[in-house]
Structure 1
Amino acid sequence: MTHRRTALITGITGQDARHLSEFLHEKDYDVVGLIRGQNNPRRPEFVASRPYVRLVEGDVTDPVSLVRVVDAVGPDEVYHLAALSHVGYSFSNPTLTSVVTGQGALNILEAVRLAGLSSTTRIYQASSSEMFGGLDYNRPGKGYDEDSLFHPRSPYGVAKLTAHWIARNYRESYGMFVSCGIAFNHEGEHRGEEFVTRKISRAVARIHLGLQDSIDLGVLWPKRDWGYAGDYVRGMWQMLQHDQPDDFVLATGETRSIEEFLDAAFARIGVDDWHPYVRLDESLLRPAEVDILLGNPAKAESVLGWRREVDFEGLVDRMVSADLDRERARVGGVTEPATA
């Protein structure tokens, strides 16, 4: 009888975990999700949309709860996705970001080790392109790869770098199978509304339906390597199927500015000029901004056989379409006005 693999996912109600839980379910995994607290506001909706996920309670900032969960679940694979992942929020709450995003990774690694699963459980650490920080960008057109220098420019980036290095340390010190996915910006229909891409896609949908007049944004010139989250979770899984643990960049190899995201999003509703709908909100400006983040996915493509399938235009179309459906449902099937 074939062993049915068990995967434990932290941060189960987040964007990546929603895509990953569905992906693993389709591959016949027993999917277990770590959720914090009985009254988590996202719990009811998540249970309704993914009844096949077995939820267990624990907290990445509570090492004892993690040891208990790991010992009870005995996972074949752990996908550590839990983090306070909003860069802007990290400037306002640097200590909490450090504890959850940095220390949380150490707590997961220790839980697996103390549960006696060091030699059997494979671990994915969700590292981030924010660790590069966009400085010393001296490889135009090639992008950051696994050997590029790190220079984080936010408390979030620093916390992610802490998690990344402790994951590598446990791999080297204890021989644990720990792979780090250095993922560049990946978005989708499950993205939180606090992120600029989802803020734009939701606003565009509401403007089209006559529910909103404008959108407040910060600077529009930063460029990001934007991919589709559904493609990236497939890469996470491929890392844990590989023979050896390693670090891999997941990226598209191209950048687009926020202005270009606005172009594509408004084009989806037939608007050629978005400028009348966008206002500058100086409160959204950050103490330090990353100009450009471009990734080089050559290693993931050659070693893992990973490829992104959804292009930039397809990503934006998915996000706006999903928000149009949500907003129509909220207002009871509102009739669309002519917006062009």
Structure 2
Amino acid sequence: MARALITGVTGQDGRYLARLLHGKGYEVFGLVRGQNNPKIDILHRELPFVTVLNGDLLDLSSLLRAFAASDPDEVYNLGAISYVAYSWENAMLTTDVTAKGVLNMLEALRLHSNGDVGRIRFYQASSSEMYGKVQEVPQSESTLLWPRSPYGVAKVFGHYMTINYRESYGMHASSGILFNHESPLRGPEFVTRKISSAVARIAADLQTTLTLGNLDAQRDWGFAGDYVDAMWRMLQQDEPDDYVISTDETHSVREYLDLAFARVGIDDWSPYVEQDPQFMRPAEVDLLIGDSTKARERLGWKPTISFEQLVHMMVDSDVARVNGTAVEH
């Protein structure tokens, strides 16, 4: 039985990935920070097959203990402070966790492997936010990185550190440059879930308005369940590499609003949506669209859920949640 260690296991991607690996027969271990972490209840309730290990990306000794306890064949480093807006408010903490945490994981793997670093395969969760002020459209693995947020800068550090350990020590270390991926498990602070939740509440007369920032920002949005499949495929390759994972389509926040409100029978959303400068980024990333040709050709991967299906899935889930009929996703 293969063994996998997942950091960030309580997040959206971690939960989808844990289910995927469990379905493939893996023994799954999840790293959780703090004994009294309230998110542990999520694992016990939704993912009872996950063995919970206590650890902190900022504490190398705790990571070494987690490696010793799990002795993994594969490691998926998804743990990070991942909310971009928060990274401006807490740039130093974001840097410590999202950047230095990657270095700690790589070093823990190197030390645990006792010189045989190739036997453990490592996945690093890189991000399309690394492209920032995009230098070409669409963005591929070779596009110059120009991050526009502390989060993006931290992800660039982790991305290049992963490449450095791969080239310096011969690690089987791959990075997935994932474009925006959403699901009903997305946190309520992210714009897609913020919209779907508000739409459900507005339809139920529990809320009257929705306040957003830049409605013209464009993103390449896909389904998180598809994207964790790409993570797994990367670690099944004979040689490690970096891959862009995206739908290769771009949509604006306005398009998301159109589909979300229409799903509950509201054709004109303008009376319900307000804009507030406090939700504008200090340095906006206006257009992100990926070129996933390499992943499609080498990994045999492609998205299975369309943008419209994704929006409907999220709205339907929040409508069910508001009505007390929520189901697991």
Q: Which residue of 2 aligns with 1:124?
A: 123
Separation (CA, whole Å) in 2 of partners of 1:232 and 1:220: 25
Contact 2:10 2:42 (C-alpha < 8 Å) held by counterparts:
no
Matched, 1:50 2:71: no
Q: Which residue of 2 aligns with 1:171?
A: 166
2:313 to 291, 313, 318: 318
Q: Deviations over 1:102-157 (max 9, x none)?
A: 000000000011112512100000000010113323x4xxx100111000000000
Contact 1:5 1:76 (C-alpha < 8 Å) held by counterparts:
yes
Once the two structures are superposed, the pairs formed by residues 234-249 of structure 1 within 5 Å of their partners are: 234-249=229-244
How far did residue 328 of structure 1 move?
1.5
For residue 276 of structure 1, give the secondary structure of its aligned residue in structure 2: coil
For residue 78 of structure 1, give the secondary structure of its aligned residue in structure 2: strand
How far did residue 40 of structure 1 move?
0.9
Separation (CA, whole Å) in 2 of partners of 1:61 and 1:15: 21
For residue 286 of structure 1, give the secondary structure of its aligned residue in structure 2: coil
For residue 312 of structure 2, give the secondary structure of its aligned residue in structure 1: helix
Q: Deviations over 1:41-100 (max 9, x none)?
A: 221133111111111100111111001111221100000000001111101110000000
Q: Which residue of 2 aligns with 1:291?
A: 286
TM-score by length of 1: 0.94
Separation (CA, whole Å) in 1 of partners of 2:215 and 2:36: 37
Separation (CA, whole Å) in 2 of partners of 1:136 and 1:259: 24
Q: Which residue of 2 aligns with 1:5?
A: 2
Unpaired stretches in structure 2, ≥5 consecutive residues: none
Q: Which residue of 1 aligns with 2:36?
A: 39
How far did residue 321 of structure 1 move?
1.0
For residue 249 of structure 2, give the secondary structure of its aligned residue in structure 1: coil
Matched, 1:112 2:106: no
2:302 to 307, 332, 339: 307
Separation (CA, whole Å) in 2 of partners of 1:63 and 1:326: 39
Contact 2:135 2:143 (C-alpha < 8 Å) held by counterparts:
no
Once the two structures are superposed, the pairs formed by residues 61-140 of structure 1 within 5 Å of their partners are: 61-116=58-113, 118-137=117-136, 139=137
For residue 323 of structure 2, give the secondary structure of its aligned residue in structure 1: helix
Contact 1:63 1:108 (C-alpha < 8 Å) held by counterparts:
yes
How far did residue 229 of structure 1 move?
0.3
Q: Which residue of 2 aligns with 1:18?
A: 15
Q: Which residue of 2 aligns with 1:212?
A: 207
Structure 1 residue runs of 4+, over 6 Å off? none
Separation (CA, whole Å) in 2 of partners of 1:163 and 1:261: 31
Separation (CA, whole Å) in 2 of partners of 1:98 and 1:327: 36
Separation (CA, whole Å) in 2 of partners of 1:10 and 1:45: 15
Separation (CA, whole Å) in 2 of partners of 1:309 and 1:76: 28
Separation (CA, whole Å) in 1 of partners of 2:224 and 2:73: 23
Matched, 1:225 2:224: no
Contact 2:134 2:288 (C-alpha < 8 Å) held by counterparts:
no
Q: Deviations over 1:251-286 (max 9, x none)?
A: 000100000000111111011111111011211111
Please tell me the residue identity of whatever aligns with 1:36: R
Please tell me the residue identity of whatever aligns with 1:19: Y
